[in-house]
Amino acid sequence: MQNGMQRQMNTNTNINLLESCSDQLERLVLEEVHKRRRSRNPVSALVIPAVRADVTIELARLGCSVTGVDEACHENDFKGRALAAGSTDDLSFLAGNLESLPDRICGGPFDIIYIRRGLCTLPYPRARQILRKLLGNLKIGGKLYVSVLGMHSELGDHYPEAEKAVEDRFCPLDPGMAQKYGIADPVCLYSERNLFLLLMEAGGSVLRTFTTTHGNVKGVAVRV
């Protein structure tokens, strides 16, 4: 009886987590973990970057083993959040970023890899190389979730290289947009088609792409 009540409480908690998530891609990640956990199999995820991301804690609460990647200066913040949430056994920290990840990432291969941001700070060819490496750190059937800045978002207003092919597109934003959003370094902005091609060229089987109401672009690919 007690075990049944505990399972019901866990189910209710999981549903509340899913319903409270406003970001559509993040919601898809949580739903995937929830679905995989129903079979009682262990689930592992890699989140990049991890600090200031509530999704890392939420994934752990769903019973997922999470490796969070972020700059070394954020390690104490990450561990403090894990301790406050009582999830220290399910959360581990890996110092680094997209550029510095090794070919074989500790804790892998993973069921899920979620790139929340950072891919746009790389030229398209380099982003493709990194996604290919990350797909190699997924289990067969594992899913890669990617979020990028959209060409058709406000950031694309007066973007100097908007007419260039995505392979050659990498420059600072319009000064007004750069100041407004605090993005000083060069970026590559993506259309939905650009992200689809990036995931495909990296070796993923693309399940879906979509553009948010704010014009940013999201995609999901699976390793086959």
Give CA separation, 38 vs 134, 165, 168, in Å: 26, 43, 44
Torsion region of 201: left, alpha or beta (phi above 0 gives left; psi -120 to 50 gives alpha): alpha
Give CA separation, 151 vs 127, 134, 161, 189, in Å: 16, 24, 10, 5
Strand partners, 110: 138
Total residue count of the chain as it appears in this document: 224
User: Which domains can be identified in the chain, with CATH numbers?
Assistant: 2-222 (3.40.50.150)
Q: Is the pTM of this model over 0.85?
A: yes
* pLDDT, one tens digit for every residue, the chain (224 residues): 444 434 433 444 443 444 334 589 999 999 999 999 888 889 999 999 987 667 888 898 888 999 999 999 988 888 887 787 776 678 889 999 999 999 999 999 999 999 999 999 999 999 999 999 999 999 999 999 999 999 999 999 999 999 999 999 999 999 999 999 999 999 999 999 999 999 999 999 999 999 999 999 999 999 99
Give kind and range of the element (H or E) at residue 220: strand 217-222
pLDDT at position 220, please?
98
pLDDT at position 56, please?
87
- Cα-flanking dihedrals φ and ψ of residue 156, to 5°? -80, -5
pLDDT at position 21, please?
42
**CA 23, 24, 28, 29: dihedral to nearest 10 degrees?**
-30
